[in-house]
Structure 1
């Protein structure tokens, strides 16, 4: 009797552990995943080694929006984290540190601090037009977005990679959970 009770107790523990691992696997694969920021391309918004949570399911219900911070597959081995700047059907250009979408000036509030600290002779974002970038598109094709890092002088983004297929986006991120002194939710203003 005691052996049977002990065997049932072990069986209950094994079932509980398997259930816990199964739930963790489902959450990690389909809902949320951790990511570590690698490099300075999103400074000052995100710092190298910031740890964040990626929401993997939000884009199953909605399309990416301008200024969302997204994680996408840049290659089979590497994911990048950048900010969505242009949406399908739009034309993107930068001239004299000003972003233009379809010829209209667009504010980038997350760059205000960097612009305020610039010297008059410095350039935050080199001039470009969508046509001059890889792919040579006149407008961003359907099913694609245009992404840039906040640290425009040190970012591998759509200026080098071309437009990013939405299907390569892993998810949206805005929660920094580590290190403790950086815990915050970053948004479109940050």
Structure 2
């Protein structure tokens, strides 16, 4: 009987250690997620699974132009380390349940970095006075806006590739860099 109890305790110990390692990897390095919606068509489609690198988020790096990132769309919400620890459980539930989705986490493309001036007219995005060449968008953009948007220091401007069917920085404003939760790597 003592041998059986010892064997069970060894298994429990191994399981607890494996779960702890998996959580550390998920919180600080890699995170699986699933696309919900059509805002990134034709690049990404509803239901596709993605792997996100979290290193840029942990290091506070500003993503590059064209990077596909996941963002916390609650731009007025002050994020803390508790959010980074709690979100993995929410994300796992979203991966395996069509009824549970994290509505505040969006997949978008980085269009503007700190200090950039953006304009939207003639079916195009203009960055610092030059029209962007965007072969990845679904169709020409119908959105236009008078004036320009200045991307503040510590923020990025993100848009979906399906410009005519995307909620993004045009509506929520620039995204704080600490709300860029990771970069799509696969």
| 1:1-190 pair list within 5 angstroms | 3-59=1-57, 60=59, 62-75=61-74, 78-111=104-137, 114-115=138-139, 123-128=140-145, 131=148, 137=149, 139-175=150-186
Distance 2:165 2:11 in 1: 50
Distance 1:36 1:148 in 2: 18
TM-score, scaled relative to structure 1: 0.75
Contact 1:145 1:166 in 2 (8 A): yes
Unpaired segments ≥5 residues, structure 1: 116-122, 132-136, 176-190
Distance 1:16 1:163 in 2: 44
Structure whose alpha-carbon radius of gyration is higher? 1
Distance 2:147 2:9 in 1: 61
Task: Using the TM superposition, give the Cα deviation of residue 10 of structure 1 relative to its aligned residue in structure 2, in angstroms.
Answer: 1.9
TM-score, scaled relative to structure 2: 0.77
Aligned residues: 158
Q: CA RMSD in A?
A: 1.9
Task: Using the TM superposition, give the Cα deviation of residue 174 of structure 1 relative to its aligned residue in structure 2, in angstroms.
Answer: 3.4
Runs of 4+ in 1 over 3 A off after TM superposition: none
